[in-house]
A and B are shown apart, each in its own frame.
Chain A
C-alpha cells in the first residue's frame, strides 16, 4: 500500500472479524442497494471464491445483507442483519457460484425492488475494506464508491457523453474518473461518473431531462 495515509493505518472503525470479508462485504451490499435505489424485496446473492469458502465464519452473509439494509461497516446491528431483513419481509437466498475471472472475494447480487424493478450487481472486496463494483445490469464497469458516483443509462448517440459532461461541468463539478460501456453502437449504454464533489438533485434532474435517458442512479460517496 503505497502513499497510505494516517487513517489507512488506524481505521476503519468497523465491526469484525475481517476487513475484506465483513467490512468490505457491508460496503458491497450498500452499493448494491443504492444501485437498486429502492427497498429490496427479493435478493439472490451469489458468493464466489473465498466469499463462498470462508464467508460463513466471517459473517459475510450478514454483512452483505446489512449493507443492503443501508448499514455502514461500523454498525453493531450487522450481526442481526438477516433477522432484521426477515422482519422487513425481505426474501433472501444465498448460493455458491463461479463468477468467472473475478477477484477471489466476489459477489453477485440479483435484486428485485418493492416496485418490481430489478438490478444485478457484481463486486469484489479487495482488502482493507476497499471494494470495487465490476458489473451493473450486465454492463462492465469499475468504480469504488470513494468518489461521488453517478450512473447514467441511455441510448447511445453521437454527442451524448458531451451533453452529460457539459451539465456536470456547468454545475462546477470536477470529474475524477469516467467509464462508458455500451451494448453496441446506437444501443443501450451506461456511463459511470466519479466526481470530487457532491452531485445535487437539481443536476440529477437536469441529466434525466436529456433526450434518450433511461435512468440515472446516484450513489453518493460511500467512504
Chain B
C-alpha cells in the first residue's frame, strides 16, 4: 500500500471501511483466505487483552530491575484519590504502561508495530471497547485498519526507532491507534486519516534515546502518552476537526525528519536522555 489516498479512494468507491480494504489487499497479496487472516488477527487481539490483564493484575518488574509497578501505582491512585480527569483517562494510561511493563518483564505481548510501542494500541482499543461495548468481531476488524495505516507508514517512512527515532515507533503506534479508534466509533475513512495525521504530527521529531539501551526509560511512559494523544486525536477527528496537512504528507515529513536525525538519537543510546548524568549512572548499574 503506497498511500492512504489510494486506500481512501478504494474505500469510497466500494463503500467499504478501511479495514475491509486492507483485508482485500492482503488476501490478494498473500493468497491467504479472509477467514485465516481474521483468525490470526484474533490471536493478536487476545494476546493484547491478556497482556493488559496481566500488567494490571500484578506489579511487574522489568527484567533488568530498573523499572516496574507503575501501572499498579496509577490504578491504585485512580481508585483511592480523585484523579484529575477521572478514572477513564487514568485507566487508559495505566493499560498502556501495563503492557509496556509486561514487555519489559519478559511477558508475552504483540509488537504493535514494535515491542517498544506495544502498549499504545491495546490501551486505546480496549478502552474504546469499554466505552462503546464493541463486539470482538469489530475489535478484530479495527486492528486491520490500524495495520493498514502502519503499512503505509512502513512503506513511505519507517516504524523502526533505529531508522526514524521514537516518532517512528510510538508516533506510528499512536497514529495507528487513533485511526482504528475512529473506525470503531463509526467515523468515516476521511476521519480515520485526520485522526492518524493529528496523532502523528504530535510526535514529529521525537528521538529514540533509551537509557542503558533498554526498552524501559523513557519508552514505557511514552506508551501512555501515545495512547492519550491517540484518543485525543480520534476525538478531534470525530468532532469534524481536520488535519490541515494530509496523512500521506505527514508520513513523508516523519520520514524526512527521521533522515535528518543524527545517529545518536536513533536507538543507539548515545544521545538524549541516555547520556544525561543520571542516564549514565543507570546504565552503569543495569547493563
- Write out the residue numbers on chain B whose beta carbons fall within 8 Å of the beta carbon of A222: none
Contact A10 B287 (CB under 8 A): no
- Write out the residue numbers on chain B whose beta carbons fall within 8 Å of the beta carbon of A16: 102-109, 115, 118, 215
Contact B63 A79 (CB under 8 A): yes
Report whether over half of chain A's contact residues are helix, strand or loop; otherwise say mixed. Answer: mixed
Among B142-157, those with CB < 8 Å from A are 143-144, 146-148, 150-151, 154-155
A123 an interface residue at 8 Å Cβ cutoff? no
- Write out the residue numbers on chain A whose beta carbons fall within 8 Å of the beta carbon of B115: 14, 16-19, 22-23
State the Cβ distance, B52 to closest chain A Cβ, in Å: 14
A74 an interface residue at 8 Å Cβ cutoff? yes
**CA gap between A183 and B83 in the complex, in Å:** 69
State the Cβ distance, A78 to closest chain B Cβ, in Å: 6
State the Cβ distance, B174 to closest chain A Cβ, in Å: 14
Among B16-68, those with CB < 8 Å from A are 22, 26, 29-30, 37, 40-41, 43-44, 47, 62-64, 66
Say which residue of A10, A15, A22 sits within 8 Å of B113 (CB atoms): A10
Q: How many residues of A sit at the interface, in one of the four size bands?
A: 35 or more
Contact A13 B43 (CB under 8 A): yes
- Write out the residue numbers on chain B whose beta carbons fall within 8 Å of the beta carbon of A187: none
Most chain-B CB neighbours within 10 Å: which of A9, A10, A12, A14? A9
Contact A78 B106 (CB under 8 A): yes
State the Cβ distance, A202 to closest chain B Cβ, in Å: 27
B275 an interface residue at 8 Å Cβ cutoff? no
Query: What are 22 A-to-B residue pairs whose CB atoms are below 8 Å?
Result: A1-B160, A2-B154, A4-B155, A5-B30, A6-B147, A7-B40, A8-B151, A9-B159, A10-B41, A10-B111, A13-B47, A13-B110, A15-B106, A16-B104, A17-B104, A17-B216, A22-B106, A57-B212, A57-B287, A74-B108, A127-B160, A127-B162
Residues of A within 8 A of B (CB): 1-19, 22-23, 50, 53-54, 56-59, 62, 74, 76, 78-79, 127-129
